[in-house]
Amino acid sequence: MAHLKSCLVSVAAQSLWDTPKDQTDTLDKLWKLLEARHGGGNVMERYRTELRARRRRAGKTLNDLFVDVKRLVALGYQAEAASSSVLDSIAKDCFIDALDTDLALRVREKEPPTLDDALHVALQLEAIHGATSSIPPDDGHRGRGKMARGTAAGRDGSVPSTVITKSNEMQSRLEGEMKKVNHRLAQMEAARRTADDNPPPRTWSAAGR
């Protein structure tokens, strides 16, 4: 009993200080106390709340949001018997809800069936928005002149070189972002397999919870 108490650290150890001794004087009482404060059910509910409240922060990429949503779903629903399709649907909805209002609306209009599809659509829309916003506005005379030249150049069915260039840039950005996502997911899967093959000893600590 004394050895178990000495193994407790951080928040778990604090439980011994703010609880009457007659509630921790047996192994069964101590175990129930730790289970009530740091048990799986309470921890999973905290992750679910964090998942529902998750919003994309300034400076964070869509890839970061995607990986974070996957992590919170895995932690918040680890004890659930739900199918993978149900969990993916939950993750997809939370991912879209975490986007800013305009982007979230445009992604929902595309009706992506999975979380991966939602990420792909969001990356495309964001790349298109970034490409169009980088084009400076023209004044009246210059705009009419460019419009006339563009119309004349397009009468033979050819595509203006600027459009082709922007399209190629967006495609390259999208491919690069997808490679980053796949790399992050591969790292997460490798870490999960390592954890499954080498489970830690069951000790009560804040780090383990």
Q: Give me the pLDDT at residue 1, please.
A: 59
Residue range 176-198: mean pLDDT, rounded = 72
Query: Per the structure block, which two tokens stand in for 181?
Result: 């996502």
Residue 46 and residue 72 in contact, taking contact as beta carbons nearer than 8 Å: no
Element of type H or E holding 73: helix 62-76
164 or 71: which leads in pLDDT: 71
Q: Give me the pLDDT at residue 76, please.
A: 86
Q: What phi, psi does 200 have (nearest 5°)? A: -75, 155
Q: Give me the pLDDT at residue 208, please.
A: 46
Residue 127 and residue 106 in contact, taking contact as beta carbons nearer than 8 Å: no
Q: Give me the pLDDT at residue 51, please.
A: 94
Instruction: List, in order, residues 6 or more apart from 88 with CB less than 8 Å away.
Output: 114, 115
Residue 44 and residue 79 in contact, taking contact as beta carbons nearer than 8 Å: yes
- Nearest-10 crossing angle of helices 84-97, 40-53: 40
Nearest-angstrom CA–CA distance, 119 and 19? 47
Residue range 173-179: mean pLDDT, rounded = 73
Residue 145: pLDDT above 90? no
CA nearest 122: which of 136, 138, 110?
110
Highest mean pLDDT among 25-29, 159-163, 195-199: 25-29
Residue 152: pLDDT above 50? no
Nearest-angstrom CA–CA distance, 31 and 5? 11
Q: Which of 111-115, 150-154, 161-165 has the lowest mean pLDDT?
A: 150-154
Q: Give me the pLDDT at residue 184, please.
A: 73
49 or 196: which leads in pLDDT: 49
Q: Give me the pLDDT at residue 75, please.
A: 85
Residue 121: pLDDT above 70? yes
Nearest-angstrom CA–CA distance, 70 and 116? 11
Q: Give me the pLDDT at residue 23, please.
A: 66
Nearest-angstrom CA–CA distance, 147 and 66? 40
What is the pTM (predicted TM-score) of this model?
Answer: 0.53
DSSP, res 59: T
Residue 71: pLDDT above 80? yes
